[in-house]
């Protein structure tokens, strides 16, 4: 029973994370599925997640293409009904925005730019602001800003430290790679202080 609950939660988190980024809602023979943009360099994280949570029957990673598919299933239909209208997100259900969900979303879809860490999104500007509000209520030590269909994160070190408590090592390592050189120096000081 525990495995089933873990798989259900994992699939829910993946669907919600996908709706917060760049996706396309497609239909085949009357059944909806999501086509979600993902960097090739992040696919190993998704593969590990799928394998660990036993959800391979619901997710298909495209080997040579920069996307993956969430196949038709009851959970996808339920979340689409709750969140979308005509394939576009029109409402965000805050009960789906847990710390684990948000950290997984960032791990899977964020990338480092010269000045910050960003996640691209299809959300409308009002929904981007709504997500920023709920994000700041769930994860208090990291500021999120919406700008130009992207979310930018300030105090990314705090996200990394939080990830150590909530996410698997593989995902935490990915967040570590996105730390700026200044944040990495701060992290070394924190670790040195803990060892002293």
pLDDT in tens, 78-135: 999 999 999 899 999 999 999 999 999 999 999 999 888 999 999 999 999 999 999 9
Tokens found for residue 105: 């979303």
Order the strands of the 67-70 sheet from edge to edge. 23-28, 31-37, 67-70, 59-61
Residue 190 has pLDDT above 90, yes or no: no
23 or 154, which is more confident: 23
Contact 142, 111 (CB under 8 A): no
Q: What is the pLDDT, as a whole number, of residue 1?
A: 36
| Cα 118 from Cα 173, distance rounded (Å) | 17
Place of tokens 């360099």: 41
What's the chain's average pLDDT? Answer: 93
| Span 29-40, pLDDT tens digits | 989 999 999 999
Give the percent of the chain with pLDDT over 90.
78
Q: Which of 1-10, 171-180, 187-196 has the lowest mean pLDDT?
A: 1-10
Q: CA gyration radius for the chain? A: 17
Sign of the CA dihedral running 172, 177, 180, 181 = positive
Model-level pTM?
0.93
Contact 53, 6 (CB under 8 A): yes
Q: Burial, 157: exposed, middle or buried (Cβ in 10 Å; 0-12, 13-18, 19+)? A: buried
What value does the mean pLDDT take over residues 142-169? 91
């Amino acid at each position: 029973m525990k495995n089933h609950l873990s798989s259900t939660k994992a699939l829910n988190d993946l669907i919600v994370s996908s709706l917060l980024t760049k996706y396309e809602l497609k239909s085949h023979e009357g059944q909806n599925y999501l086509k979600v943009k993902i960097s090739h360099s992040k696919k190993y994280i998704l593969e590990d997640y799928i394998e660990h949570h036993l959800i391979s029957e619901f997710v298909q990673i495209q080997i040579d293409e920069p996307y993956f598919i969430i196949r038709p299933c009851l959970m996808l239909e339920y979340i689409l009904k709750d969140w979308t209208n005509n394939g576009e997100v029109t409402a965000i259900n805050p009960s789906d925005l847990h710390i684990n969900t948000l950290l997984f979303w960032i791990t899977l879809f964020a990338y480092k730019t010269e000045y910050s860490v960003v996640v691209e999104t299809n959300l409308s500007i009002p929904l981007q602001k709504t997500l920023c509000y709920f994000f700041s209520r769930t994860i208090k030590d990291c500021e999120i800003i919406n700008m130009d269909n992207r979310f930018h994160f300030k105090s990314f070190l705090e996200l990394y430290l939080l990830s150590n408590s909530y996410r698997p090592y593989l995902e935490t390592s990915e967040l570590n790679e996105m730390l700026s050189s200044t944040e990495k120096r701060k992290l070394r000081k924190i670790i040195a202080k803990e060892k002293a």
